[in-house]
Chain A
Amino acid sequence: MLLEFDVNGIKRKLDVDPEMRLIDILRDKLGLKGTKEGCGEGECGACTVIIDSVAVNSCLVLAIQARDKQIITIEGLEKDGELDLLQKTFINQGAVQCGYCTPGMLMSCKALLMQNTNPTEKEIRLAISGNLCRCTGYTKIIRAVREAVETGGMQNG
């Protein structure tokens, strides 16, 4: 099938098998290797991308479902060589250890902040409930989101 969609602001046209998983399209067809696979069944969240402002496990999305959608991957967060605020706060707070869950974690957090500019701690925990991290115990990830909310708020104000 012909897949037309928008990835990180770039219109793409690809000829793919309609049953190909989105994660494979991103990684193998577009070379966007920042999106990781950790379980292949939507339990670990390492493959999370944003589709039309919603965080989605790209291992559970088929090519046909990605048609005409706007997709943001980890590679799309950095703008003009500058890291997104969340990426910076992840570094500041030590929310990154091995880094393998980090892209998916960041996309879940980004999607949360796109929908809710001032989430509570409970909302943050819920937003990343589908993203497993074995290194951090999540605390520093939650602090990073909080710092982004506070800094972002200050920037806006």
Chain B
Amino acid sequence: MDQKLKYIGKYIPIHDAKEKVSGKIVYVGDMELHGMLHAKLVLSPIAHGRIKHINISKAEALPGVIAVFNYKNSPEILYNAHKWIEGIEVIRDERLFTSHVRFFGDRIAAVVAESKEIAEKAANLIEVEYEELPVILDPEIAKKADSYPIHPDGNHFFSKEIKCGNPDEKMKEGFLTIEDRIETPKTHHAAMETHACIADTDQIGNITVYTPCQVIFQVQLIVSEALKIPRNKIRVIKTTTGGSFGGKGQPILEPIAAFLSYTLKRPVKLVLDRTEEIIATRTRTKTIGTVQTAVDKEGNIIARDIHMLVDAGAYTTNGEAIAVAMGKKTFKLYRIYDQRYVAEAVYTNTLIAGACRGYGSPQIHSVTEINLDNVAKALHMDPVEFRLKNLVHPYDKDPTGGPELGNARIIDCVKKGRELFEWDKKYSRPKQAGRYARGVGMACGAHGNGYFGAYPDFITLSLRINEEGTAVLKGAFHDVGCGTNMTMMQIVAEVLDLDVSKIYIPATDTLVSPFDSAGTQASRVTFVCGGAAKKVAEQVRAKLIAYGAKVLDCMEADVVLEDGYVWDCNSIDLKISYGELAVITQKRYSEEMGATMTYQSPGNPTSYGAHFVEVEVDTMTGRVKILAYLAVHDLGKAINSGFVEGQIQGAVQMGIGMALSEEITFDSKGKVTAGRFSRYHVINAPDMPEVQVELIERLEDLGPFGAKSIGEAATVPTAPAIINAINHALDVNLTVLPALPDRIMDAIKSKTKERV
């Protein structure tokens, strides 16, 4: 496409914006089906134990209660909700309702009643007596061979090494070596819509599941496995999603709602309240990272050794996958040819971890990027200068043989950021004495574009131009609120030269959507699904040209397609609409103006970003105020500039939380002490800085119109950039995230002690 782009790059509102601002959009919690029952979960009030007795008679006796389910009358089948496609090896350790509770919030029972009020009341009438077991909250204790086993095979369930070169030898040659130990917190996704689901079952046992999910075919697979029901009897329809951020990736409520409905043969709705949402869904994986970086005198990184301890919480879910995913990122940001990454994953009696925006990247980059600032400090080098010496260049190879980096423009990001942020001036500004200390920090980040090189990554799409000249694009798209559908519509509009309002994407539904291998995961949607949308649109465009030439009796090269009309460039008077051409093509050639094809991801380039932040720390209270924030991203090309800016600004809000305020805390017995928004602090408007966004649009060769991922990549550099800024302001070394006021005060106090 040489001509000027008409739709790509523009801000066009999200496809359902009007329905959303008018309150008319229907989320699953707003749906009512005829004869619908309501379910309420009963969750474990202790962190580890076995059920000795469970008494459900009072609950069952309450008028309006239909049934109560627990481990005694539900399938014992073990599954792992992380599995999204057949063929992946997983540890199966989760079941619908358990008799062995492994965390505060584990599922014990569900009550189904005529109303949600009755279900709630009945849930409180269930009496459970437990044999309490030792509680392990600390992953470093869980790692020990003699720790009390949470699962039969022990608590240490996975380890992995990824290596290039000879880090042990090279490490010895370092002019200096800096080691750090950084902890990142368990956090809550905090999508404003809590998890919710409706399942309905017809007379012959076909189940329909309505859910705001990220992967319809994964929901179908997990419901099928958990209930031992053939997949063809399970239909999954994705509903409008009120935010997800990875949290709605694994099917949590779907197998339960499906079981309840299948057993009772009535529609059942299950909606979590916020506390249940925090404790009984998934969290961002807590990690403890240790890193050693060796550099030469000039500031070239010569070796690095990274160890990540992954706290999966009480069940495996994606504990193995995330441990590996984190490691892969460490070979794609700097030119380090001698490096080892080792991950170990353990169970603890804490909330279950899962996918969360960035899938480990924010954690691993927190560890490595905070460490790199400490290296720069030891070298007396500007951290920007130090990074520029070591960052990857476009088309560098992954030293472990992983997917190629592609048009990697992180150096451009850092240089642009340095200039726009006036880094040199701000970084070298003399420190002011007094209560408020100012500092600047920056960090870089890398994130992927799909599963190429690791798992099957393909999608089948069907695009057809209707007789009225509008187009229908069928595919399993999972718009979770970030504008997936409009992104696809803009791509198709651009290729076909058809107004975006004339392109329609029907609901995502296992019964009618062609297969997609992975859904909204792994930052694959723009790059892979968008690539597919472009390809299928190109096939339809070729058909418009081919049949246009036949109908207009001209050369294909002379066919012009513009704004839904086709004509011969030599006879501009005869213009026929795409719809008319479709009708003529059907009539004369028995061919429809459409195409269906399967698109395989062609690669997995890396998306990059560099964030720059200025903070002011109140040294009396430890409170941090963000004064300025700049995010520079290498995303190839923005398909929708407004969405991209919105993704980055939202991602920074999440990253600030990880850096400063968000942490799921427990008491000594493992009871969650941050199970509500009044105790779990999501950044609100007065505390949120205006995030300045700058894009490096240097086009990725393999991406649609040059596009790469952004939504996850944008939250990767945030937390380390902020911690680096605080460390710069106070001349301290914070090692535990989030940097809560008391942790900052402790750092200030220990620094003062050192001086005394």
Beta-carbon contact of A94 and B21 below 8 Å: no
Beyond A98-B241, A100-B191, A134-B190, whether A41 also contacts B678 by CB under 8 A is: yes
Are A97 and B645 in touch, CB under 8 angstroms? no
| Chain A, interface residues (CB within 8 Å), range | 35 or more
* Contact across chains for A33 and B23 when beta carbons are under 8 A apart: yes
Q: With A41-B678, A87-B21, A100-B243 in contact, is A135–B481 under 8 Å at CB?
A: yes
Interchain CA distance A122-B481 in the complex, whole Å: 27
Q: Tell me if B73 counts as interface (CB < 8 A to partner A).
A: no
Instruction: Work out how many contacts link A and B, with CB atoms closer than 8 A.
Output: 173
Asked if residues B677 and A135 are in contact (CB atoms below 8 Å), the reply is no
A58 within 8 A of B: no
A29-57 at interface with B (beta carbon < 8 Å): 32-41, 43-44, 46
Say whether A139 faces chain B, with CB atoms less than 8 Å apart.
yes
Contact with A along B171-195 (1 / 0, CB 8 A): 0000000000000000001111110
Question: Chain B residues near A137 (CB, 8 Å)?
Answer: 646, 648-653, 688, 691
Chain A facing B: main interface SS: loop
- State whether the Cβ of B273 lies closer than 8 Å to any Cβ in chain A: yes
Known contacts A40-B273, A137-B691; A131/B21 CB under 8 A? no
A78 to B23, CA, bound (A): 10
| B480 at interface by CB-CB < 8 Å | yes
What is the bound-complex CA distance between A128 and B481, given in angstroms? Answer: 20
In the docked arrangement, what's the CA distance between A110 and B241, Å? Answer: 25
Contact with A along B1-45 (1 / 0, CB 8 A): 000000000010110111111111111011000000000000000
| Given A91-B21, A94-B11, A102-B20, CB of A39 within 8 Å of CB of B677 | yes
Give the residues in chain A near B273, CB-CB below 8 Å: 40
Looking at the assembled complex, report how far the CB atom of A137 sits from the nearest CB atom of chain B, in whole angstroms: 3
| Known contacts A83-B21, A94-B646; A138/B688 CB under 8 A | yes
A46 in contact with B686 (CB, 8 Å) = no
Question: From residue 660 to 678 of chain B, which have CB atoms closer than 8 A to chain A?
Answer: 676-678
* B424 contacts A by Cβ under 8 Å: no
A150 close to B (CB within 8 Å): no
A91, B650: Cβ atoms closer than 8 Å: no
Interface assignment of B469: CB less than 8 Å from any CB of chain A: no
Quick check: B22 and A75 within 8 Å, CB to CB? yes
- Could you mark each residue 90-101 of chain A with 1 if its beta carbon is under 8 Å from any beta carbon of chain B, else 0? 111010111111
- Please determine whether B685 and A101 come into contact, CB atoms closer than 8 angstroms: no
Q: Is A106 an interface residue (CB 8 A)?
A: yes
The answer to whether the Cβ of B448 comes within 8 Å of any Cβ in the partner chain is: no
State in angstroms the CA–CA spacing of A128 and B684 once bound together: 8
**Least distance between B197 CB and chain A CB atoms (Å):** 16
* B interface residue numbers (CB < 8 A to A): 11, 13-14, 16-27, 29-30, 189-194, 240-245, 273-274, 480-483, 642-643, 645-646, 648-654, 676-678, 682, 684-686, 688, 690-691
Known: A36-B29, A43-B676, A90-B17. 15 other contacts (CB 8 A): A27-B30, A39-B677, A41-B676, A75-B24, A96-B17, A98-B191, A98-B242, A98-B480, A99-B240, A132-B192, A134-B650, A137-B648, A137-B651, A137-B688, A138-B649
**9 A-B residue pairs with CB within 8 Å:** A34-B23, A34-B24, A77-B22, A125-B688, A134-B191, A134-B243, A137-B652, A139-B649, A142-B685
Per CB-CB distance, the 4 closest pairs between chain A and chain B, nearest first, are A34-B23, A98-B481, A100-B242, A137-B649
Interface residues of A (CB under 8 A from B): 27, 32-41, 43-44, 46, 73-75, 77-78, 83, 87, 90-92, 94, 96-103, 106, 122, 124-126, 128-142
